[in-house]
Amino acid sequence: MSNGPFAFSRQMMAVDALLQAQPDWGGLQQAFFPSKTPDNFDPGDDMKLVLYHFFNTAEGRRILEWLFDLTARAPFPHVGTTTQSVALAAAKHEARTAVGYVIGRAIADGESLWKERSQNHEKPA
């Protein structure tokens, strides 16, 4: 039984390890630079907390594992032999993986926010 479309990738890059290795928001903005997207990739504290808590449910974990399979853990596509086809495939792959890294960064930040607020006895947002 497979854990998803890319079982080997899932074994090689567990989500917990992926979350610990997330680039900062500046690096993520650079990863998205080739794509025409909004400049602000930081979803805000409220969304970070929602994603963190969603990730810590069984259903949320399953959904996010699948999303990471499709994005951050997706294998590089097989392409033709021309420089153009390789460059196009690389750009598409970079954009796809960047989506996963943005989600992972938000989850990691949400965990930090939750721990900080819990230690300071603040009411969660």
Tens-place pLDDT, residues 21-36: 666 766 666 665 555 5
CB 101 within 8 A of CB 21: no
Residue pLDDT, tens place only, 85-113 = 888 888 888 888 888 999 999 999 999 99
Q: What is the pTM of this model?
A: 0.65
Cα Rg of the chain, angstroms:
16
Q: What are the structural domain ranges in the chain?
A: 7-119
Lowest mean pLDDT among 44-48, 52-56, 79-83: 79-83
Q: Cα 42 vs. chain centroid, distance in angstroms?
A: 12
Q: Cα 4 vs. chain centroid, distance in angstroms?
A: 16
